Amino acid sequence: MTARDVVLARVRRALRDVPPEETPADVEVVRSGPSTAPLTPGHVELFAERVAQYRARVVRCVPDDLVATLVPLLEDVSTLLVPFDLPRGLRPAGPRHIEDRQLPTGELDAVDGVLTTARLGIVETGTIVLDHGPGQGRRAATLVPDIHVCVLWADQLVAGVPEAIVNLDPTRPHTWISGPSATSDIELERVEGVHGPRTLRVVLVG
């Protein structure tokens, strides 16, 4: 018996008492509320540390220095993609800006980097979550360019995954980012940039 057979057998046993006409929508889901303890400066430091462990670059700044902080992070980006609704105040001078208005994949592939905001960050896992709302761009725009520079405010941090889930709209698309794209599927050799940006730079404001 394979591992797959074992898993499927357990699923069948767990579902044997379920009426065939019952659907997932018929089942009430009861959530135990996540912790509501306020975050501390230590949580912000921990988030930055966890993100850096994924080989991502983390830069902290105060709001007034945000644009100046972005400039060196974009020095090697000759063509910068920005969501059409990215706030004007976040668009630094320097790289040639291209507003993404449903650019085809071929044109996205010619872009060096993308600059976005995010929906929230998870302290416990060092994960950044995009729900592709204003300033975050569509999913393809954040996965095709080789460099992703993401701006996140400290007050957008939540403690853990349960807190993130209750703060996200389940009807929106979500992209969870834990460091640059990487895989070790082939001969256990780490290869970056296979499923998304090879380089992740995070600006943590506040």
User: 96-138: per-residue pLDDT in tens?
Assistant: 788 998 888 888 888 999 999 999 999 999 999 999 999 999 9
**Which backbone phi and psi does 41 adopt, to 5 degrees?**
-55, -30
Summarize pLDDT for 33-81 with one digit per residue, the tens: 555 567 787 999 999 999 999 999 999 999 999 999 999 999 999 999 9
What is the average pLDDT value for the chain, to the nearest integer? 87
Out of 81-85, 90-94, 161-165, 172-176, pick the least confident.
90-94
pLDDT in the model for residue 95: 64
CA distance 87 to 47: 25
pLDDT category of residue 27 using cuts at 50, 70 and 90: confident
For residue 4, pLDDT beyond 70? yes
Name the CATH topology of 34-205.
Rossmann fold (3.40.50)
**What pLDDT was estimated at residue 33?**
55
pLDDT of residue 96: 77
Q: Residue 23 has what pLDDT?
A: 84
- The pLDDT of residue 156: 95
Mean pLDDT on 177-191: 68
Per-residue pLDDT at 159 exceeds 60: yes
pLDDT band at 192 (very low <50, low <70, confident <90, very high): low
Domain-by-domain residue ranges, the chain? Answer: 34-205
User: Looking at residues 91-95, what average pLDDT do you find?
Assistant: 73
Residue 29 has pLDDT above 80, yes or no: no
- Gap between the Cα atoms of 61 and 57, Å rounded: 13
Q: In what order do the strands lie in the sheet with 79-83?
A: 57-61, 199-205, 147-153, 113-117, 79-83, 96-100
- Distances in whole angstroms, Cα of residue 152 to Cα of each of 10, 44, 75, 193, 205: 42, 11, 20, 22, 6
Residue among 165, 88, 155 nearest 129 (CA): 165
Say whether pLDDT at 196 is over 90: no
